Structure 1
């Protein structure tokens, strides 16, 4: 999915700049050499894309414990994944431009076989454990915010915390914002919320044939997540903060791929691919 010799270079360059310096250094200099951050980063990419367990990804270069506890959790605590996602979104906005005037919100149900913090009985899978992602995208399918809960939660109450993720863009929001929603949000409570937040809503009507409109862009984003990243298609993480970090990493990859693809026709750079990605 990602060629790290070319397209992955900007991602790793930015990620490595955000990694905090190691604090624990042996005073006598006889501690085992610290494993390269690049090795850990590549292992996390493999876990995210292939969906494999950490024990299966580990080898002689790096153990599963080092991947999970010593690096992944350290980077999550330092906010590296969230900062990386924010920088990718800001770069995309400067070069291509985010379509913040047209937003789409929808829920996505995935299997959660390990019954983690963000899991619940799925109403569409015979009561098995599942996770719901309330996803918000711009008009070009770029993920702007995501709320993770159990599969037994309804979409409508998740709309407020999902729309509140727009606060990450500060005062650069347009005056008029239209939110496209499916029939699951067709209620007076949703309309009152949109009025309170100063947003316009285009909501599909319950009981009528399927109405697509401009809501299809969020379905494409859900497809990018579940088809491109096996770890997001079958959730095996127990902690919500780990799942949030993996979603931020996946979104960073998607944004960079879209940025390279859309900027290929309008910009020049030294490592520009000869063919359109």
Structure 2
């Protein structure tokens, strides 16, 4: 049996995605050209995410439709808020099967390559190159809870509170949705007393390495999961270099990448 391609969408995954996709009814009069099937277009979007190929080079013989069709549908679904809702649904499913661990979270913010656009800036640590940063927060096991995009000139510590606030309310169990971890772990880049106080105000305990201290704080044994999650996230070639001028399109790919990692963890838990 041939192994499925990573951009192929099986029935189980499509059953999760289809209810979130806006339904566009054809007009009775002057209906125009028939709309390309959403499932095939979504596979075209995944093909671009996985391979990093330019939209105009999307192979039409695979049935995805044209690159422009896939791009327009991606923009349409991004405006409709499909990707954050998909991520939230999958997080709830993970929590329902006791895979999600809110006992602690880990944050990090490496610096990927970039071509240009909104939310870029000259990096003070990379010879002044213009770039963007992906910031990520994961649960204790490395499941992505939220990701944000900023210019490369933004200090990691400024995104500590926005990352915590970006974690959606996660259902999946009886009672109130869970949103905040008990503890957040960070490296020395997040060492600032002002932000420690802001984290405490959110009801989260900050556990952050101090600058100027020797290595061996012990945090690495727990926060390596966020570095592994970044490795998984940047396995999607479209996220390694930001080709999109529009920041919302790049953020859509970023959130979709997080959702796909959640889907893999959910299937592995079954």
* TM-score, with length taken from structure 1: 0.85
Q: Distance in 1 between matches of 2:245 and 2:181?
A: 39
SS, match of residue 13 in structure 2: helix
Q: Distance in 2 between matches of 1:38 and 1:6?
A: 9
Q: Distance in 1 between matches of 2:140 and 2:261?
A: 15
The corresponding residue for 2:258 is 251
1:125-144 map, 5 Å? 125-144=126-145
CA deviation map 1:57-84 (0-9, x unaligned): 1526522221112x11111121112211
Cα 1:44–1:163 shift into 2, 3 Å: same
CA deviation map 1:81-104 (0-9, x unaligned): 221111111111101331112111
Cα 1:86–1:78 shift into 2, 3 Å: same
1:1-277 map, 5 Å? 3=5, 8-25=10-27, 27-29=29-31, 31-59=32-60, 61=63, 62-69=65-72, 71-113=73-115, 115-169=116-170, 171-173=176-178, 177-207=182-212, 208-209=214-215, 211=217, 212-226=220-234, 228-263=235-270
Q: Is the CA contact (8 Å cut-off) linking 1:99 and 1:139 kept in structure 2? A: yes
SS, match of residue 140 in structure 1: coil
Q: Is the CA contact (8 Å cut-off) linking 2:157 and 2:195 kept in structure 1? A: yes
Q: Distance in 1 between matches of 2:53 and 2:180?
A: 44
Q: Distance in 2 between matches of 1:244 and 1:122?
A: 19
Q: Is the CA contact (8 Å cut-off) linking 2:7 and 2:44 kept in structure 1? A: no
CA deviation map 1:120-178 (0-9, x unaligned): 11233322221112211000101111121001100111111111123433743388711
Structure 1: where are the runs of 5+ without partners? 264-277
Q: Is the CA contact (8 Å cut-off) linking 2:87 and 2:258 kept in structure 1? A: yes
SS, match of residue 201 in structure 1: strand
**Count of matched residue positions in the alignment of Structure 1 and Structure 2:** 259
Q: Distance in 2 between matches of 1:235 and 1:146?
A: 15
The corresponding residue for 1:273 is none
SS, match of residue 108 in structure 1: coil
Q: Is the CA contact (8 Å cut-off) linking 1:96 and 1:259 kept in structure 2? A: no
| Greater displacement, 119-128 / 146-155 | 119-128
Q: Is the CA contact (8 Å cut-off) linking 2:9 and 2:39 kept in structure 1? A: no
Structure 2: where are the runs of 5+ without partners? none
CA deviation map 1:213-269 (0-9, x unaligned): 31111111111111x200111111112221222122111211111111122xxxxxx
Q: Is the CA contact (8 Å cut-off) linking 2:9 and 2:43 kept in structure 1? A: no
Residue 6 (structure 1) shift: 8.7
Q: Distance in 2 between matches of 1:193 and 1:53?
A: 42
